A = this chain, B = another copy of it.
Amino acid sequence: MSTEDFTVTPWSVEGDIDYDKLIQKFGTEKISEQVLSRVEKITGELHPMLKLGYFFSHRDFDKILTEYERGNKFYLYTGRGPSGSIHMGHLLPWIFTKYLQEKFDVNLIFQITDDEKFLYNDDRTLQDVSKYTTENICDIIAVGFDPKKTKILIDTKDIKRIYPISLEIAKRITFSTVKAVFGFQNSTNIGMVGFPPIQAAPCFLPSVIEGRPTPVLIPAAIDQDPYWRVTRDIAEKIGFPKPTQIHSKFLPGLGMQGKMSSSIPETAIFTTDTEEAIDKKISNTFTGGQPTVDLQRKLGANFNICPVFWYLRYFFDTEKESDERARKCRAGELLCGECKCNLKDATKPFIADFKKKREKAKNEIDKFMFD
């Protein structure tokens, strides 16, 4: 999906993203106050990422709630393409997924699309991808998913579980469709052309596992939406419920260009970063501030485009603290250095703690595997 000002596809997120425009272009629905209050009623508390609009859009999330209220539990399904190390931008939807798992007490399937990451990049070997698969799984486990209710599905290892479902899907999608939806060309390799059904298949795996139609909710960044759009078109034709989605925004990179990126390490704080690296990255980032202190005091700053503000808002500030920070920023009562210090002080113990969990996770991988 590309407009004049920004691009959002599963392989590229660029520019200053207008999320309202994205909802309109993708044909999804904004998460309404009404939906939020239904979630709050069920879960007892609204997760900050819902309250603060990090998860902002959906497809049929309301129907999932209705089914749940009737006693029909759903499965969660999300995934990771293991092309690099995990940074804080990756953690946000996973932390939110963990919240959903806890509050709704439901199963989760976590797909590792190692095949796609291999197929996408000419220079990447299966061995390269395999290294990240193992590393990324440690990060996933460190988020704290319930091992009794979570299965990690690695495409190349667990292909047998999803292959027959993917065939049912593949049979119903033409090259014309993937050309239009994913922008594939005649020069695209046929592995990529044939991949979308592999990512779609886990939408229907819960129904196969449970032996009855089982709804699925996918919490994921909105750039993955094209996969689900195609999948939804096919679902009922092959006797499965349409997968439903809840879409997140992107955490702005340190440098404010699209989402954080593993391929530009300075734009992201990784779960393996040292304290020095964290200090340096936060010190060096762009902010929404003015060129001089005097101007900032006089004109105020623009928190809206400031990665430091959004990191603090989504990860560390309470809603009240964040609103107050926004007010003071706009009014020129706050200098960027102060926010950067707050972010450093909060991030360093967060990452230190995560590293410990990540170490522990290395011995827990088997608990999360399908076979």
Contact = CB atoms under 8 A, between A and B. Distances in A.
A175 B171 contact: no
A190 B171 CA distance: 7
Interface in A95-153: 115, 118-119, 122, 126
A274 interface: no
A356 interface: no
A157 B156 contact: no
Contacts of A168: 126
User: Chain A interface: which size bin?
Assistant: 35 or more
Given A126-B167, A167-B119, A174 B188 contact: yes
A186 B179 contact: yes
A118 B176 contact: no
A189 B189 CA distance: 15
B175 A193 contact: yes
A196 B191 contact: no
Given A175-B175, A175-B186, A194-B193, A159 B170 contact: no
A337 interface: no
Interface centre among A119, A170, A188, A190 (most CB of B within 10 A): A190
Contacts of A184: 175
> When A and B form their complex, which 8 residue pairs have the shortest distance between CB atoms, in order from nearest?
A194-B194, A170-B191, A176-B186, A159-B163, A175-B186, A171-B191, A173-B190, A160-B160
Q: How many copies does the complex hold?
A: 2
Nearest to A163: B159
A122 to B, nearest CB: 8
A195 B191 CA distance: 9
Contact of A174 (B167, B176, B187, B194): B187
A191 B197 contact: yes
A164 interface: yes
Nearest to A186: B176
A190 B163 contact: no
16 contacts: A115-B167, A119-B167, A119-B170, A119-B171, A122-B171, A157-B160, A159-B163, A170-B194, A171-B189, A174-B189, A175-B184, A175-B186, A175-B193, A176-B187, A190-B193, A190-B197
Contacts of A167: 115, 118-119, 126, 156, 191
A185 interface: yes
Contact of A186 (B156, B174, B191, B196): B174
Nearest to A129: B167
Nearest to A157: B160
Nearest to A180: B186
A157 to B, nearest CB: 7
A172 interface: yes
A172 to B, nearest CB: 7
Contacts of A197: 190-191
Contacts of A176: 186-187
A167 to B, nearest CB: 6
B188 A175 contact: yes
A220 interface: no
A178 interface: yes
Contact of A163 (B156, B164, B185, B189): B156
A188 B178 CA distance: 11
Nearest to A158: B160
